[in-house]
Amino acid sequence: MQALVWDGSTAAVGERTQPVARDDLALLRVRVAGVCSTDLEIVKGYMGFRGVLGHEFVGEVVDGPKGWIEGWEGARAVGEINFACASCASCTRGLERHCPHRRVLGILDADGAMAQYVAVPSANLHRVPESLADEAAVFTEPVAAAWEILEQLPLGPEQRCVVLGDGKLGLLIAQVLQSSGARVLTVGRHAGKLALLSRLGIETALLDAWRGRARAERHDTDVVVEATGSPAGFRLALEAVRPRGTIVLKSTVAEAPSLDLSPVVIDEIQVLGSRCGPFAPALAALAAGRVRVGELIHDRFDLADGARALERAAEPGVLKVLVDCA
Amino acid sequence: MQALVWDGSTAAVGERTQPVARDDLALLRVRVAGVCSTDLEIVKGYMGFRGVLGHEFVGEVVDGPKGWIEGWEGARAVGEINFACASCASCTRGLERHCPHRRVLGILDADGAMAQYVAVPSANLHRVPESLADEAAVFTEPVAAAWEILEQLPLGPEQRCVVLGDGKLGLLIAQVLQSSGARVLTVGRHAGKLALLSRLGIETALLDAWRGRARAERHDTDVVVEATGSPAGFRLALEAVRPRGTIVLKSTVAEAPSLDLSPVVIDEIQVLGSRCGPFAPALAALAAGRVRVGELIHDRFDLADGARALERAAEPGVLKVLVDCA
């Protein structure tokens, strides 16, 4: 089959052995995949991954475990990306996404979805509602990652949240937090991207204008979500959050910046790492139109042009780039 | 009066104008003060403080606001170190220790206690129970700082806690956490210091021996308290804590090390800064002998030799150094 493969120095489309359904693995024909910032970090060295890239996808089930495939053949599905062992202490505790033996689709020891076919544990699959188009369903994974914040932090109208970053993830996080009833301000560098949120009734500010008032508004800023994807984001979050407030860290970057953690101690800040989230509420929010993604799609490429899709996604100002794999 | 003053380049005992009681300020004759690691950081540049050093003390009330002094004259007292404005949004919310206008005894805009006299808001004072000797009561401030962890995190027998650091604060934190019923392991570099805890029934391990097994025990390590006072401590804590676990940050250091925060995101770690804590339970624990401090006192100096006290406290392996100010 054709697949976009990262070999440690180049990302190129080439021939790859087609995976097969066996044990608990289902096989899907990939319809569309999305380029995530994590993919761009991987080709900068993050995680030391080698293999087929891509972890955001919608596919069509073509094969799978006996007794299971009967109900799923031909179904459109999205898949959770952490492949857990199901038997260790973390899994027994219900923390499958933190299984120390996990493989992660297109990120850690598991070939990803920018290919004609992908193999995913059948337990990881979620049916895509008929009303939800591929172009929206392919956002399930990043919307779930945004939703994780609501699982970790109880948010409501009492909370004032600042989302730092108007990239792909920031724009989804802002919508998800707003849906919880929290008061959300999204801060970014791009008027055009922020306008997407303004049209949805979400308050926005340009970074330079906001920095001047961040200190003054600090006592009222309960939560800052760091989704800039830049090492500077954490320092900015520290300036903006109130004492005893919470910084949610969403960015994983390949760099290790120099950081002074003493403000965390002095102001007794809670820093909360936040990664993958639950697919079910994310799918429901997308299907109900509570999270809008149409305007986030900036470009589409065929799988054969997968390498160009990556380059395009890395261009400044570009939001989601999709890869048509069917 | 005589006082140990840090002028930005030298810490020396010299003559200083004696403070006076006025408005809400009480005046105390200092009996004994303690050298804290924060004092040693200050003379390395931390906080840019200038003035009389010292924030751990026991004193005797000699003057104070009318209507108040009548009940307090001659009382032995310890004092909370954050001087709040009592009227801002933080103070109104009950977060006086986070008042943005606060001064902090011997740390920020307020002369400290390594002097013959010290001025402290009367509302900050707590009476020392008669049964509690000066040499134990002077530990109230650091024991309160350890107690802050219990205010922030519900701990009990289900929790396994690792305390990193067998310095002054680490030895107090281990005792305070153990008193909550949590299972505590203290990790340090000094067999002699760890033995103080072993004698109190607290599990200990030498750093080098423990590092080898930290990964294997990680899934069971719910909380890691970073009290090493070293920039390396945070990285060590990240290796030792389980996914979705908590790192409590206690060290404030003048350095800004290079830190890779992606493990915080990937493992969804909660990092909790923790600073000053409540005096009342700390005094009660000291008075009841639930926290033992006698063996932590390694040396005592008269105020006239205050500069030597600082030097002595900075020597490797030295725990608490007291300064007799009366």
Per-residue pLDDT, averaged over A199-225, amounts to 94
Say if domain A145-273 classifies as CATH 3.90.76.10: no
Question: What is the Cα B74 distance to its own chain's centre?
Answer: 26
CB B300 within 8 A of CB B138: no
Provide the pLDDT for residue B254.
59
Per-residue pLDDT, averaged over B146-163, amounts to 95
pLDDT over 90, % of chain A: 87
Which of A13-22, A52-61, B211-220 shows the lowest per-residue confidence on average (mean pLDDT)? B211-220
User: What separation in angstroms does the CA of A32 have from each of A14, A136, B164, B252?
Assistant: 18, 10, 48, 49
Provide the pLDDT for residue B45.
86
B23 CA: distance to closest CA in chain A (Å): 27
Task: Look up residue B118 and give its two tokens.
Answer: 């010290």
Is the pLDDT at A197 greater than 90, yes or no? yes
Cα dihedral B296, B301, B306, B311 sign: negative
Provide the pLDDT for residue A254.
60
Provide the pLDDT for residue B262.
87
With a CB cutoff of 8 Å and minimum separation 6, the contacts of B315 are: none
DSSP state of A288: T
Domain boundaries A2-139+293-324, corresponding CATH code: 3.90.180.10
How many Cβ atoms from other residues are within 10 Å of residue B238's Cβ? 21
Q: Would you call A274 and B265 a contact, using CB atoms and an 8 Å cutoff?
A: yes
Closest residue in B to A259 (Cα) is B256
Please state the ipTM of this predicted complex: 0.91
How many Cβ atoms from other residues are within 10 Å of residue B289's Cβ? 12
Q: Would you call A220 and B89 a contact, using CB atoms and an 8 Å cutoff?
A: yes
CB A199 within 8 A of CB A186: no
Per-residue pLDDT, averaged over A37-43, amounts to 93
User: What separation in angstroms does the CA of A243 have from each of A5, A91, B53, B92, B251?
Assistant: 45, 35, 25, 14, 17
Please, which pLDDT band fits residue A230 given cuts at 50, 70 and 90?
confident
Q: Would you call A270 and B273 a contact, using CB atoms and an 8 Å cutoff?
A: yes
Break chain A into its structural domains and give their ranges. Answer: 2-139+293-324, 145-273
B312 CA: distance to closest CA in chain A (Å): 25
CB pairs under 8 A between A and B: 115
Nearest to B270 among A88, A267, A270 (CB): A270
Q: Label residue A193 exposed, middle or buried (CB < 10 Å: 0-12, 13-18, 19+).
A: buried
Nearest to B243 among A98, A152, A219 (CB): A98
Nearest to B89 among A219, A257, A273 (CB): A219
Q: What are A100-114's pLDDT values in tens digits?
A: 999 999 999 999 999
Please, which pLDDT band fits residue B159 given cuts at 50, 70 and 90?
very high
> Which DSSP helix (H) or strand (E) runs through B318?
none
Provide the pLDDT for residue A20.
96
Cα dihedral B284, B286, B288, B290 sign: positive
Closest listed residue to residue B128, CA positions, set B196, B224, B59: B59
Beta bridge partners of A206: A188
Is the pLDDT at B313 greater than 90, yes or no? yes
Task: Give the whole-angstrom CA distance, residue A13 versus residue A307.
Answer: 7
Q: Would you call B265 and A259 a contact, using CB atoms and an 8 Å cutoff?
A: no
Q: Label residue B286 exposed, middle or buried (CB < 10 Å: 0-12, 13-18, 19+).
A: buried
Cα dihedral B26, B32, B37, B43 sign: positive
Longest dimension (CA), chain B: 61
Mean confidence (pLDDT) of chain A: 95
Q: Would you call A251 and B265 a contact, using CB atoms and an 8 Å cutoff?
A: yes
Q: What are B94-104's pLDDT values in tens digits?
A: 899 999 999 99
Q: Would you call B252 and A272 a contact, using CB atoms and an 8 Å cutoff?
A: no
With a CB cutoff of 8 Å and minimum separation 6, the contacts of A144 are: A80, A276, A277, A278, A279, A281, A282
Task: Give the whole-angstrom CA distance, residue A64 versus residue B177.
Answer: 50
Which residues in A86-118 are b (16+ Cβ under 10 Å) and which e? eebebbeeebbbbbbebbbbbbbebbbbbbbbb
Provide the pLDDT for residue A231.
79
Per-residue pLDDT, averaged over B10-38, amounts to 96
Q: Label residue B213 exposed, middle or buried (CB < 10 Å: 0-12, 13-18, 19+).
A: exposed
Per-residue pLDDT, averaged over A152-162, amounts to 94
CB A274 within 8 A of CB A298: no
Is the pLDDT at A59 greater than 70, yes or no? yes
Q: What are B234-283's pLDDT values in tens digits?
A: 999 999 999 999 999 998 765 677 788 889 999 999 999 999 999 999 99
In chain A, residues with a C-beta closer than 8 Å to the C-beta of B88 are: 219
B81 CA: distance to closest CA in chain A (Å): 13
Task: Give the whole-angstrom CA distance, residue B134 versus residue B115.
Answer: 16
Provide the pLDDT for residue A258.
78
Residue B101 dihedral angles phi and psi, to the nearest 5°:
-100, 10
Provide the pLDDT for residue A27.
98
Task: Give the whole-angstrom CA distance, residue A143 versus residue A133.
Answer: 15
Please, which pLDDT band fits residue B144 given cuts at 50, 70 and 90?
very high
Task: Give the whole-angstrom CA distance, residue B289 versus residue A35.
Answer: 60
Provide the pLDDT for residue B251.
82
Per-residue pLDDT, averaged over A19-35, amounts to 96
More confident residue, B212 or A325: A325
pTM for the structure as a whole: 0.91
HEC sequence for A77-90: EEECCEECCCCCHH
Is the pLDDT at A98 greater than 90, yes or no? yes
Q: What are B65-87's pLDDT values in tens digits?
A: 999 999 999 999 999 999 999 99
Cα dihedral B263, B265, B266, B271 sign: positive
Mean confidence (pLDDT) of chain B: 95
Nearest to B258 among A234, A258, A275 (CB): A258
Q: Would you call A234 and B261 a contact, using CB atoms and an 8 Å cutoff?
A: yes
Provide the pLDDT for residue B253.
67
